[in-house]
Amino acid sequence: MKYVKATAVLPERLIVEIQKYVQGETLYIPKPEKTHRKWGTCSGSRELIDDRNAAIRSAYKTGRTILELAEEHFLSMETIKKIVYSK
């Protein structure tokens, strides 16, 4: 999160109004919910995990055991179960 001076981006009358509630503190203003992105969409991590999970499901369907998949992917057996039993 980067820091931006209020005087550089907000009109004076809005700063005066905000100062009625907060003075000299750091104030976080969140993005609107419609602009939120799911975790990992910017970095590509989400896509990598989705691909990994698809490979795990495919291997399970072809006969690999949950224990084998857990050891191969360095995940717990419970995590593998969640992946293979989810839709």
pLDDT at 2: 83
Measured in whole angstroms, the distance separating CA 33 from the mean position of its chain's CA atoms is 14
pLDDT at 13: 96
Mean pLDDT of 14-38: 89
pLDDT at 41: 84
Token digits of residue 67: 């224990």
Contacts of 23 (CB under 8 A, 6+ apart): none
**pLDDT digit string (tens) for 32-87?**
988 878 888 889 899 999 999 999 999 999 999 999 999 999 999 999 999 999 97
pLDDT at 80: 97
Q: Of 55, 6, 61, which Cα lies nearest the Cα of 28?
A: 6
The radius of gyration of the chain's CA atoms, rounded to the nearest angstrom, is 23
Q: Measured between alpha carbons, how far is 27 from 65 in angstroms, rounded to an integer?
A: 51
pLDDT at 38: 82
